[in-house]
């Protein structure tokens, strides 16, 4: 089994008094999340997990192909998939050893979500069939045993499943390139219900918040944002964005305090694309506020930035304007903006710092209040468009150089003035 650890091994350490206290409080005894049931773990997309363990040491877990998904850290293991090859694997976080590996029939662009000892992952690619459905070759979602990687079941779809699946109660939900929302039984992988959305879903991973699934879609026009009632299996509302020309279907929305945030691209009078941010009421779909960041460099893939919400503040990066932004969630007031390298991933916020990862292989920690850079770390490659996470004071981020980087927050250097 091939693996590469820069610092030799990953150390979880003996169970300290802090860890004993954490377990007494009901936290997991294993490093990481007990459950990971949707994209970036929670509706606000601020993927921060504390299981009461000490930070890991700096390391890089090597894989054979590029990584575009979020590393999922659950039950003492790290689960990750490779983009082009479809390889999927699990690493033990005590030793750093790759404990099993498998393969999906197509690209893995999404996270491998984790529930009760099983991981679920979608597969497919961005190419279009002659009939206009997105995803060539085999498409679908599969369930694997988290202990050994055994495939438990596969559910095939006509279009790609590049967005991360989501779990609600006893069912798995996937949005697809064949313009449907599927409800699948967790145990046997059988179809329970399907709803025709009418929009192609590219990489807008569904967000489950208060018994409702939220997702953004593209063509056929107009681009539309959907709220689907999971208790009654029916559409709750949908909001059309006739001015949007791309990106709404690429963005996993973030939700907090009854407000949805997403972004997309529109055309200006010169026929150039401009990047916009939108906030909607989660109950009605009413547009509460928006802002336009203007135009900038052309962007090939993942054209819109993914938002994250922390303490009633929205954090988002625009790959088009090469700028990181902070907004007041309720009013839409822009709090600060900082121009740097292109970034599209959702950031992660912890202990007064918000960490953005960019296409130049760097992670920059910004002071949440002022927007000034305070921490930085150079890693490698184009960092994954799914963004970093923090587990037990340790930052995890995938890269298109094939590595998953594991960095204790204490290793970050002070930002250069």
Nearest to 255 by CA among 200, 199, 312, 302: 312
In what order do the strands lie in the sheet containing 118-123? Answer: 113-115, 118-123, 139-145, 151-157
- Alpha-carbon distance of 91 to 231, in angstroms, equals 36
Q: Pick from 45, 25, 90: which is nearest to 354 by CA?
A: 45
pLDDT for the residue numbered 266: 94
DSSP three-state, residue 121: strand
> What per-residue confidence (pLDDT) applies to 269?
84
Sign of CA pseudo-dihedral 89, 13, 357, 282: positive
Please list, in sequence order, all residues whose beta carbon lies within 8 angstroms of the beta carbon of residue 417, skipping any fewer than 6 positions away. Answer: none
pLDDT at 215: 98
Percent helix, percent strand, percent coil in the chain, to nearest 5: 5, 45, 50
**pLDDT of amino acid 297:** 72
pLDDT confidence of residue 11: 46
Which domains does the chain show, CATH number per domain?
Answer: 17-414 (2.130.10.10)
User: Quick one: pLDDT at residue 299?
Assistant: 61
Please give the pLDDT value at position 417: 66
Report the pLDDT value the prediction gives residue 298, as an integer from 0 to 100: 66
Contact (CB, 8 A) for 377 and 413: yes
- Residue that is written with structure tokens 């197509």 in the block: 106
**pTM, full prediction:** 0.92
What pLDDT does residue 2 have? 32
pLDDT means per 10 residues in the chain (417 residues)? Answer: 39 41 50 96 97 95 92 96 94 93 92 96 94 94 97 97 96 96 96 95 95 94 96 96 93 97 92 94 98 80 83 94 96 96 92 95 96 95 92 96 96 87
Q: Which residues pair with 193 in a beta bridge?
A: 183
pLDDT score of 320? 87
């Amino acid at each position: 089994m091939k693996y590469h650890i820069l610092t030799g091994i990953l150390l979880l350490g003996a169970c300290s008094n802090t860890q004993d206290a954490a377990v007494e409080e009901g936290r997991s005894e294993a490093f990481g999340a007990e459950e990971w049931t949707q994209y970036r773990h929670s509706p606000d997309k601020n993927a921060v997990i504390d299981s009461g363990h000490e930070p890991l040491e700096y390391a890089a877990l090597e894989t054979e192909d590029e990584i575009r998904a979020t590393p999922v850290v659950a039950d003492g293991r790290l689960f990750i998939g490779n983009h082009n090859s479809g390889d999927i694997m699990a690493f033990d976080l005590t030793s750093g050893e790759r404990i099993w590996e498998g393969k999906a029939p197509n690209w893995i662009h999404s996270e491998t979500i984790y529930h009760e000892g099983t991981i679920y992952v979608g597969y497919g690619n961005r190419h279009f069939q002659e009939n206009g459905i997105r995803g060539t070759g085999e498409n679908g979602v599969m369930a694997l045993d988290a202990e050994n990687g055994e495939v438990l079941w596969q559910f095939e779809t006509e279009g790609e499943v590049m967005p991360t699946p989501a779990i609600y109660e006893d069912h798995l939900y996937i949005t697809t390139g064949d313009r449907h929302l599927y409800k699948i039984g967790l145990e046997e992988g059988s179809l329970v219900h399907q709803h025709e959305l009418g929009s192609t879903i590219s990489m807008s991973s569904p967000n489950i918040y208060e018994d409702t699934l939220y997702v953004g879609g593209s063509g056929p026009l107009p681009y539309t944002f959907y709220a689907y009632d999971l208790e009654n299996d029916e559409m709750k509302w949908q909001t059309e964005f006739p001015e949007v020309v791309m990106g709404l279907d690429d963005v996993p929305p973030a939700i907090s305090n009854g407000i949805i945030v997403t972004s997309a691209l529109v055309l200006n009078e010169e026929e150039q694309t401009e990047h916009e941010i939108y906030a909607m009421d989660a109950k009605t779909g009413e547009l509460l506020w928006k802002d336009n960041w203007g135009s900038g460099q052309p962007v090939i893939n993942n054209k819109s930035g993914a938002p994250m919400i922390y303490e009633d503040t929205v954090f988002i990066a625009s790959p088009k304007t090469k700028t990181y932004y902070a907004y007041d969630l309720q009013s839409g007031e822009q709090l600060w903006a900082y121009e740097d390298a292109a970034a599209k991933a959702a950031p992660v916020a912890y202990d007064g710092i918000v960490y953005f990862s960019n296409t130049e292989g760097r992670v920059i920690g910004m002071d949440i209040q002022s927007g000034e850079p305070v921490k930085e770390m150079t890693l490698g490659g184009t960092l994954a468009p799914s963004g970093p996470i923090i587990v037990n004071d340790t930052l995890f981020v995938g890269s298109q150089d094939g590595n998953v980087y594991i960095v204790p927050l204490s290793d970050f250097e002070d930002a250069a003035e």
